Amino acid sequence: MRRRFVAGNWKLNLGPAQAAALAEALRTGLADRGDVDVAVFPTALSIAAVLPILQGSGIEVGVQDIHSADAGAFTGANSPAIAREAGCTRTLIGHSERRQIFGETDASVNKKVRAALAAGLLPIVCIGETLAERDAGQAEAVVHRQVAAALEGLTADQIPGLTLAYEPVWAIGTGRTATPEQAQDVHASIRGWLRAHYPSFVADETRIQYGGSVNAKNASQLLSCPDIDGALVGGASLKLDDFRAIVVA
């Protein structure tokens, strides 16, 4: 039985004061969330404002991106070891905005996954096809390639600690959600790929979130699919009521 996991990606929104206010609201508003893991990913400069508020609440705080090195001459980068020392427990890796805008590649995603695990940060690894790739019938091949690259060099035992987030690029921030059938098909295919390449506990235990315009209205249908183990939420994670509704779903 995989425990559900809902994560909020605040992207480049909410400075320290606004982030602290949302964290306060989440602390009380999600106190009765039941058997669901919850994490939020503030922008890096707001993490210090959010961490003390969510400490002890069971809501985890993560960093939206890391560099593959812990220290050195890498101006502007986030160190995995320093993020862990600061109190973050998780990191996003390979979000499509990082891939498309900042030139993230399958190879750099793999380096970051290894660096995160070495530092004690649990990664959420984002994968997903573009609309052109879907229209060309390549959705499954693309996500299989991305998963294989991200996991390269990991032992089977390391894999269930990380989370995969299937986020079709055409559904992120567009209001156009994958149908539950479309999402379930790809999730089942990713789980099948894991089953074919690792001992069966890896496919059984690794959580696969769906992301892409998840909101209070569509969450329960998506989250009732057998291979969808939670959600990675962008826009709707900025509003307590919407995010709460997704967690409840």
Positions marked active-site: 95, 167
Within 8 A by CB and 6+ apart from 128, the residues are 96, 142, 143, 146, 166, 167, 168, 169, 171, 172, 211, 212
173 counts as binding ligand PEP under rule CB under 6 A: yes
211 counts as binding ligand PEP under rule CB under 6 A: yes
64 counts as binding ligand PEP under rule CB under 6 A: no
Continuous segment of H or E residues that includes residue 48: helix 47-54
Query: Which C-beta is closer to ligand PEP: that of 53 or that of 183?
Result: 183
Candidate segments 46-54, 71-79, 111-119, 209-217, binder of ligand PEP by CB under 6 A: 209-217
Which pair of structure tokens corresponds to residue 114? 């290894």
Query: Which C-beta is closer to ligand PEP: that of 154 or that of 216?
Result: 216
91 counts as binding ligand PEP under rule CB under 6 A: no
230 counts as binding ligand PEP under rule CB under 6 A: no
213 counts as binding ligand PEP under rule CB under 6 A: yes
Within 8 A by CB and 6+ apart from 58, the residues are 38
d(CA 117, CA 94): 15
- Which of residues 47, 233, 246, 249 is near ligand PEP by CB under 6 A? 233
Candidate segments 72-80, 82-90, 148-156, 233-241, binder of ligand PEP by CB under 6 A: 233-241
Size of the site for ligand PEP (CB under 6 A): 13
Which pair of structure tokens corresponds to residue 202? 């890896």
Continuous segment of H or E residues that includes residue 210: strand 207-211
Within 8 A by CB and 6+ apart from 41, the residues are 7, 8, 9, 10, 61, 62, 63, 64, 90, 92
Whose tokens are 């539950």? That residue is 180
Provide, rounded to whole angstroms, the least separation between the CB of residue 170 and ligand PEP: 10
40 counts as binding ligand PEP under rule CB under 6 A: no
- Which of residues 140, 167, 227, 229 is near ligand PEP by CB under 6 A? 167
Q: Provide the binding-site residues for ligand PEP, judged by CB under 6 A.
A: 9, 167, 172-173, 211-214, 232-236
